[in-house]
Amino acid sequence: MASTKYIFVTGGVTSSLGKGIIASSLGNLLMARGYRVTIQKFDPYINIDPGTLNPYEHGECYVTDDGAETDLDLGHYERFLNVRTSQANNVTTGRIYHNVITKERRGDYLGKTVQVIPHITDEIKRNFYRLGETGDYDIVITEIGGCVGDIESLPFIEAVRQAKWDLGESNFLVIHLTLIPYLAAAKELKTKPTQHSVKQLLEAGIQPDILVCRSEKPLPSEIRRKLSLFCNVQLNSVIEALDAETIYDVPLMMRKEKLDERVLTKLKLAHKEPPHIDEWRTFLSKLKNPTNEVNIGLVGKYVELPDAYKSIAEAFIHAGAHLECKVNIHWISSETITEKSVKRTLSDLHGVLVAPGFGERGIEGKIEAIRYVRENNIPFFGICLGMQCAVVEFARNVLGFEDAASSEMDKETKHPVIDLMEDQKKITDYGGTMRLGSYECKLKKSSKAYQAYKTSTIHERHRHRYEFNNKYLEQMEAAGLKATGINPKSGLVEIVELDNHPYFVGSQFHPELKSTVMNPHPLFVSFIDAIIQNKKN
């Protein structure tokens, strides 16, 4: 265990300061120096995973290759580090207690009284060390969700305190992310919230090694000295984290502040070589100096909270930068789209993406949007439910099945063009029971998807229950909606495309989940490229 170094990232003062971005940026810099790094997130809520949470509660649910439904921060980890995560990278209070109670029922504790200390904290630590014990990583970064002082976080903070004694000082480091607010009336930056936050950590027995201070104004040297003195942290370990133009600036900002060097020094690791970040700089240069600009409508029902579609928004950034094109996303609530409003809402856009989701709210607006873009040759991309809506729209307005629907929305429809898989029909629990994770797909060589991927076999991540109903496949294809991607084992339709259209592609899987800075997703690249070409014409 001691051969792996462990970094813990805690947060204070307020949530949403960006622990995930700081952890990802640090991981990025350490990997750029040649170290093998992974990041994990420990969430204090009692849900087993975020799979059953409303997106308004917690943003999008991110799915890994192994089918784990996880926190959206794992998306940041993958996008910044370009490495795959798994179930082991996201652990909740619910999972910890579930594991401990299962062991207790099995008799593993030999009749002892099961308590928070040591049983819950031991289970937390077992999960802290799990990835490090594989031998695959030199450094494991662990982000502790929530704020220091939250009642839910107490067992995790206590487990971090204990971990220091398990691991030894040179294998253990705590970074505390905090806020230095600026009071406009007084024209002053205030350190008191940070002092109180660190005091709470000290009361829990943890001395932070490095302070990362979020601020909208630069930290003067006297503020840094004050933080160093009052928080018992070395002066050069007080790190400034200013508001950034884009989250992808943060690794370079942390490099400038020498966060990676401070970490390596404290962990007694060699500064093998300066980080190789030229590719990252190139990406940023393309991102900030586009030669094209497009307006894309994202039609969904959670648009009031863009984090509900976080991976889609980031995939547009990656693909846009790759093509040196600025992508302006217009967030459109599907509930506002009607036959009367659709032209006014969509006519000025260069392309439309219809987003994933569950349930019937806003479904007719999505179908109306797809009818409009299909009939008016506006490039279209549908993901998961967006693809299913495209199938329903085509069945209604081209095949003439007026009551065509997904059986999720209308159990009485005579034409369930989207229907439950047989093995899903008897399931009553919602958590973790969908088709989840990575599945194989075979592409037809004549398809736009094949042109995008440049290979006939792909693996993509899924999160859904309902599928294209193959009883209607022959009629659909005869009328022009082709199944161009098929799961070779089940025969299930994964991709549909429309003939004679600038770009009309729907995928049952979630391509956005595999887009990273260094590997923008082929379908997003091909969608934006088609929009650029269509705009020229």
Q: Report helix angle 363-375 to 385-397, nearest 10.
A: 60
Question: Which amino acid belongs to residue 101?
Answer: I
Question: How buried is 338 (Cβ within 10 angstroms: 0-12 exposed, 13-18 middle, 19+ buried)?
Answer: exposed
Please tell me whether 168 is known to bind a ligand. Answer: no
CATH C-level class of 290-536: alpha beta
pLDDT recorded at residue 204: 94
Bridge partners, residue 144, by sequence: 42
To the query of whether residue 61 is one of the catalytic residues in this protein, the response is no
Q: What is the DSSP letter of 60?
A: P
Please tell me whether 388 is known to bind a ligand. Answer: yes
Angle at 254 between CA 190 and CA 146, to 5 degrees: 60
Same fold, 5-281 and 290-536: yes
To the query of whether residue 512 is one of the catalytic residues in this protein, the response is yes
Please tell me the distance from the alpha carbon of residue 352 to that of residue 183, in angstroms, as a whole number.
Answer: 42
To the query of whether residue 325 is one of the catalytic residues in this protein, the response is no
Which is the catalytic residue, given 231, 464, 512, 521?
Answer: 512
Tokens of 340: 């009367």
Please tell me whether 73 is known to bind a ligand. Answer: yes
Do 503 and 379 form a contact (C-beta atoms < 8 A)?
Answer: yes
Domain segments of the chain as ranges: 5-281, 290-536
Other residues' Cβ atoms within 10 Å of the Cβ of residue 204 = 16
Please tell me whether 150 is known to bind a ligand. Answer: yes
Helix extents (H) in 333-384 = 342-346, 363-375
Q: Which of 295, 404, 302, 397 is nearest to 355 (CA)?
A: 302
Which is the catalytic residue, given 231, 384, 389, 441?
Answer: 384
Please tell me whether 191 is known to bind a ligand. Answer: yes
Bridge partners, residue 481, by sequence: 498
Please tell me whether 465 is known to bind a ligand. Answer: yes
pLDDT recorded at residue 432: 52
Question: How buried is 270 (Cβ within 10 angstroms: 0-12 exposed, 13-18 middle, 19+ buried)?
Answer: exposed
The segments of the chain whose pLDDT lies below 70 read 1-2, 272, 422-433
Q: Please give the backbone phi and psi of residue 329, each rounded to the nearest 5 degrees, phi first.
A: -90, 125
Please tell me the distance from the alpha carbon of residue 337 to that of residue 343, in angstroms, as a whole number.
Answer: 9
Complete edge-to-edge strand list for the sheet that includes strand 90-92: 90-92, 37-43, 139-144, 5-11, 172-179, 210-215, 238-242
pLDDT recorded at residue 230: 95
Please tell me whether 43 is known to bind a ligand. Answer: no
Q: Which of 410, 429, 298 is nearest to 351 (CA)?
A: 298
Angle at 74 between CA 83 and CA 64, to 5 degrees: 70
pLDDT recorded at residue 1: 42
Q: Please give the backbone phi and psi of residue 111, each rounded to the nearest 5 degrees, phi first.
A: 80, 0
Cα(first)–Cα(last) distance of the chain, in Å? Answer: 60
Which is the catalytic residue, given 76, 119, 462, 510?
Answer: 510
Please tell me whether 190 is known to bind a ligand. Answer: yes
Q: CATH number of the domain at 5-281, out of 3.90.550.10, 3.40.50.300, 3.30.565.10, 1.20.1090.10? A: 3.40.50.300
Please list, in sequence order, all residues whose beta carbon lies within 8 angstroms of the beta carbon of residue 392, skipping any fewer than 6 positions away: 367, 404, 405, 406, 417, 418
Please tell me the distance from the alpha carbon of residue 503 to that of residue 480, in angstroms, as a whole number.
Answer: 13
